[in-house]
């Protein structure tokens, strides 16, 4: 563990015992910070450079408790970078990336999908990649996914999400975005899972769990008190008619494998779970066996 992370954990532990309100306030503010955008990896640069690029003007959903956008003021927008690959007339697949990632992280999968005759659409979420802003919530992704979906003449041939993108995409499908298939890689079950993971990583005392969840919602999304209920794929499942593939590495330290086990249990009638070993949270996106499994899932008969 880096020295800075050890110091932060010790600080949160101490504040959690001696000054809980301060620990909660600092933790909630930190929770929403994305940090510097991840660069395009050298291996993904050719795919990134070959994309047809566009932009959406997006109004961030992050608000202070006073109702003002802390980044840009009321009513302001940030640019969201969009990308497309493949034949413009081909069936389309939507990709939704994870936290501290970007669209180009799907580089090898993009090559596979276009090689199979599909069109690929993706975007850099707010505060990620080439997009503007400093923060991202699932509400941002929902808005962007809906707008991209509305621009399509037919349902997505598939939606593929990674990490936080699995949660956002799954909720979008639950709320009516149409797709023929869904693949969730290294996925999250709920916003509650993300805040629980943050508490453990930051060293905030576990007995402050419920108070921290409330602080996170009040600090970033005070106009959305249902954020924990709305972003929960265990209670608001992907529609059963959409065949779903969950892909997860047994040793994922970011999002434990048990999260996809729970997702598979809830969606058992319409899903499969594909488990890998030795790939972790991010390398899984480029693994040949995973890529083959995703293509097989897209090509399988609907009844499967």
Q: What is the pTM assigned to this prediction?
A: 0.93
Residues 108 and 186 in one domain: yes
The parent domain of residue 207 ranges over 1-31+191-225
Write down the residue that tokens 């805040």 correspond to. 195
Choose one of 200, 225, 250: the last residue of a domain.
225
63 band by pLDDT with thresholds 50, 70 and 90: low
CATH (domain of 141): 3.40.50.1820
CA distances from 272 to 28, 47, 162 (A): 35, 29, 16
Residues 74 and 136 in one domain: yes
Residues 154 and 75 in one domain: yes
Residues 251 and 175 in one domain: yes
E-assigned strands of the chain? 52-58, 78-85, 92-96, 119-123, 158-162, 182-185, 244-249, 271-276
- Determine, yes or no, domain membership for 37: no
- Determine, yes or no, domain membership for 304: no
Of the listed ranges 17-21, 81-85, 168-172, 254-258, the one predicted with least confidence: 17-21
Q: Is the pLDDT of residue 74 over 70?
A: no
- Determine, yes or no, domain membership for 36: no
Tally of CA atoms within 13 A in the half-sphere of 133 that contains its CB: 29
Choose one of 167, 201, 225: the last residue of a domain.
225
What residues contact residue 303 under an 8 Å CB cut-off, 6+ apart?
A: none
75 band by pLDDT with thresholds 50, 70 and 90: low
Closest CA to 271 of 234, 297, 248: 297
Residues 58 and 104 in one domain: yes
Q: Is the pLDDT of residue 64 over 60?
A: no
294 three-class SS: helix
| CA–CA–CA angle 122, 253, 278 (5° rounding) | 85
pLDDT of residue 13: 87
Residues 12 and 120 in one domain: no
Structural domain count, the chain? 2
Residues 70 and 172 in one domain: yes
8 A C-beta contact, residue 233 and residue 171:
yes
Residues 67 and 17 in one domain: no
218 band by pLDDT with thresholds 50, 70 and 90: confident
Residues 145 and 15 in one domain: no
Residues 256 and 292 in one domain: yes
3 band by pLDDT with thresholds 50, 70 and 90: low
* Stretch 166-183: mean pLDDT: 98
1 band by pLDDT with thresholds 50, 70 and 90: low
Residues 114 and 203 in one domain: no
């Amino acid at each position: 563990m880096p020295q800075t992370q050890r110091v932060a954990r010790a600080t949160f532990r101490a504040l959690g015992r001696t000054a809980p309100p301060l620990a909660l306030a600092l933790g909630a503010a930190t929770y929403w910070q994305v940090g510097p955008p991840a660069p395009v990896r050298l291996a993904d640069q050719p795919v990134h450079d070959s994309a047809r690029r566009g932009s959406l003007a997006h109004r961030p959903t992050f608000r202070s408790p006073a109702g003002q956008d802390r980044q840009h003021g009321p009513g302001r927008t940030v640019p969201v970078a969009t990308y497309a690959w493949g034949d413009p007339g081909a069936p389309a697949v939507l990709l939704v990336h994870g936290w501290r990632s970007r669209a180009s992280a799907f580089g090898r999968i993009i090559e596979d999908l276009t090689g199979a005759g599909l069109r690929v659409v993706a975007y850099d979420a707010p505060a990620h990649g080439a997009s503007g802003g400093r923060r991202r919530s699932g509400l941002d992704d929902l808005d962007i996914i809906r707008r991209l979906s509305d621009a399509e003449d037919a349902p997505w041939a598939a939606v593929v999400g990674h990490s936080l993108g699995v949660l956002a995409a799954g909720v979008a499908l639950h709320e009516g975005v149409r797709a023929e298939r869904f693949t969730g890689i290294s996925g999250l079950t709920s916003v509650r899972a993300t805040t629980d993971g943050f508490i453990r990583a930051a060293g905030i005392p576990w007995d402050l769990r419920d108070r921290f969840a409330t602080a996170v919602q009040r600090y970033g999304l005070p106009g959305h008190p249902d954020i924990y209920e709305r972003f929960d794929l265990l209670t608001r499942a992907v529609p059963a008619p959409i065949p779903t593939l969950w892909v997860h590495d047994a040793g994922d330290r970011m999002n434990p494998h048990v999260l996809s086990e729970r997702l598979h249990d809830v969606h058992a009638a319409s899903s499969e779970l594909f488990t890998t070993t030795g790939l972790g949270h991010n390398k899984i996106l480029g693994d040949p066996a995973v890529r083959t499994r995703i293509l097989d899932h897209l090509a399988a008969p609907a009844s499967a």
